[in-house]
Every structure is written in structure tokens, then in C-alpha cells.
Amino acid sequence: MQDKSTSNTMPRLGLTQGDFNGISYEIMLKTFSDARVFESFNPVLYGQSKVFSYYKKNFGMESPNYSLTRDARQAWDKKFNIINIVENELKIEPGQPSEVSAEMSVLSMKRAFDDLQNGYIDGLVLAPDSPVIAKSNLAYLLSHFADADPVRVLVNDTMRIALATGDMPLAEALPHIDIRFLVGKLTTLSDALKKDFGLNAPKIAVMGVNPHSGSHPVGDDEKVVKAIGDAQHKGIYAFGPFSGTQLFVSGLWTKYDAVLAMYYDQAVLPLKMTALGGCAAYWAGLPMVVAEPLQGPCFDLANQNKVQPDSYRKAAFLAVDVFNHRKEQ
């Protein structure tokens, strides 16, 4: 086995397994069946080799082969590495989320995150999970960064859209939107565009809350206007507020390096409508690189060899790009 410092090698990415009764192993198998991926980073899956072999056999795939390791620091270069998080047999029920698959998803997350904190891996790529477990795993991760003000940034090949609030009902999102809150998000996003994407003076388009917010800012949009002004006084190039029609129908968004959306649906629709190579997300403002595909567990498609890995591949390379930009600082 190798025992190398991550600072002298390609990035070593830890992969959570998500819900193994969904599509997570399928998209991993398809992503890493292309040997060119191993030229950019070394993957380490915190999962089960028997589950990996089960799906590989079911899909009739010859590659990728895997190498077992007990320690991420001894992961093999240019190979798909697996750390078995348990040794016992697991019941695999494709298409049916179970207590066992949920338990293993949580354990995978904890094992991977421990190694991330210890510096054994350079970044983390999350696999699709059921909404409840995904929310729980995310809360576990973010609980370790109480002093941070993270922003979830959604990306495709051409667009970056950050979320001021999380994946929650609009009625729950609106109370969060105030001046200080938005200035914090704009600060995190501007810093991330410099640090994580190498942009010197990034310009941010800020969306409003209401229709026609750019022409007639009222109510919550008055807070957005004030937050933009305060951010500009801090040297942040923030502009708006804009409505979705103003930004996306006319193509105005292309004049900016990123967009700050107020809530989830406001961001996801234009992102997915302009995506050609998958959609992914990462957490700006965290000291560690954490990325994920914008893709659910798709239990209805599990084990049918029908799912494309574009979003998962996008997440992995997003993590690599962010890591490499940070390394250059």
C-alpha cells in the first residue's frame, strides 16, 4: 500500500455511497468506467465492495475494477478505492429504501467526514439520498462549522446560481431574508468566486423576491435593495434586484459571474433548463470542499441501467476544480 501526503499527489476525493437501493452505485460505476477520470483525482468510496460488485454484475460492466483499502491515506493512484464501512452481508433491495440502506448512508457520511476533517482526503462528493437522510446528513456536516456562513452554489457548464436560503417551502424561506443575512451571503459568495473560481472582481446579479422586483421593489425587495447597497459599500460588485424574467429571458445573466437567488425554485428552473452536461452544487464558505450532484435517489429507476451520470461527474470535477483553485492561493 501507498502512504503519501495529499499535498504531493492528485486530489483524493472521498465518496459517500448515498442510498444503495437507489441509483448511487449506478452513477458511480458509469462515471468511473471512463479511465480518463483517474487522470484528475483519486476516488475513495466509503461503502461496500459487495454492493459495488452486485450492481456491476447486474449492469454487465467490465470496468471499473476496485481496490480495497482500510485507510484513505493508502489509497491507490488511478484506481477506484473502496473502504468497507462494514464487513457483514447487507440486504440489497433496489427501488426500496430501507432501514439498512439509510443506516449505511449515515455511517458512510460519518466515516468520510471524519477522514475529511483529519486531512486524509481532500474533498467530499455526496451521493444521492432520500430527502430525509440527505437533510440529516447535511445537518450533521454543517453542525461542525457553526462559525461559518455557508452558501450552496448550484452550477452547470455555463451558470452559477447561489441560494440565499435552503431547500425549504417559500413560507419558511421568507423570514430569513433580511439585510444583514443577505449581506453575509453576498460576502461569502463574492469571496468564494475569487478563491474557488479564480475571479478577480466577480459581479453578482441579485434576484428579488417578488414579480417585477427590478422595476417596483416593495416589501421584502426593499430589504434586498438595502442589502445590495450595503454590500457595495464593502467593495462587493452586487447589482439588482432583478426578476427572473429580466435575468433569464433576455440572457442578462450572462453578463454576471454568478446569481444570488432568494429561494430554491427560483434557482433550479433556469439552471436545469440551460444544463447540457449535468447540474451539481457545492458549499461555498466552508473550509473543506463538499460537492454533490443535483440528482435524487430515483428509486423508481434503480437497477434498470437507465440513469445518466452527468450530474455526478459534474459534482466530482467541481470538487476537483475548487480544490485546485484553493491550493493555488
Final residue before a domain boundary, out of 253, 268, 285: 285
Q: Are 297 and 23 in contact (CB under 8 A)?
A: yes
Same domain for 210 and 319?
Answer: no
What are the tens digits of pLDDT across the range 23-58? Answer: 999 999 999 999 999 999 999 999 999 999 999 999
Reported as a pLDDT band with limits 50, 70 and 90, residue 302 is: very high
Residue 84: how many other CB atoms lie within 10 Å: 17
pLDDT for 313 beyond 70: yes
Same domain for 112 and 192?
Answer: no
Q: Are 325 and 195 in contact (CB under 8 A)?
A: yes
- Predicted pLDDT of residue 251: 92
Same domain for 272 and 314?
Answer: no
Same domain for 301 and 274?
Answer: no
- Predicted pLDDT of residue 187: 98
Measured in residues, the chain has a length of 329
Same domain for 5 and 94?
Answer: yes
Final residue before a domain boundary, out of 285, 300, 318: 285
Give the separation between CA 235 and CA 251, rounded to whole angstroms. 25
What is the rounded average pLDDT for all residues in the chain? 92
Enclosing domain of residue 58: 1-148+286-329
Same domain for 185 and 269?
Answer: yes
Same domain for 168 and 123?
Answer: no
- Predicted pLDDT of residue 1: 41
Output the domain CATH number for residue 48.
3.40.718.10
Same domain for 157 and 185?
Answer: yes
Same domain for 124 and 5?
Answer: yes
Count of structural domains, the chain: 2
Give the DSSP H/E element, type plus range, for residue 27.
helix 24-32
Sign of the Cα pseudo-torsion (82, 88, 89, 90, in order): negative
Give the DSSP H/E element, type plus range, for residue 328.
helix 310-328
Same domain for 132 and 28?
Answer: yes
Q: What are phi and psi of 95, to 5 degrees?
A: 90, -5
Same domain for 80 and 184?
Answer: no
Same domain for 34 and 183?
Answer: no
Give the separation between CA 177 and CA 249, rounded to whole angstroms. 25
Residue with cell 435552503: 166
pLDDT for 311 beyond 80: yes
Order the strands of the 280-284 sheet from edge to edge.
Answer: 66-68, 80-84, 42-47, 12-16, 123-125, 289-293, 280-284, 151-155, 160-163, 258-261, 203-207, 237-242
Q: Which of 4-18, 85-99, 260-274 has the lowest mean pLDDT?
A: 4-18
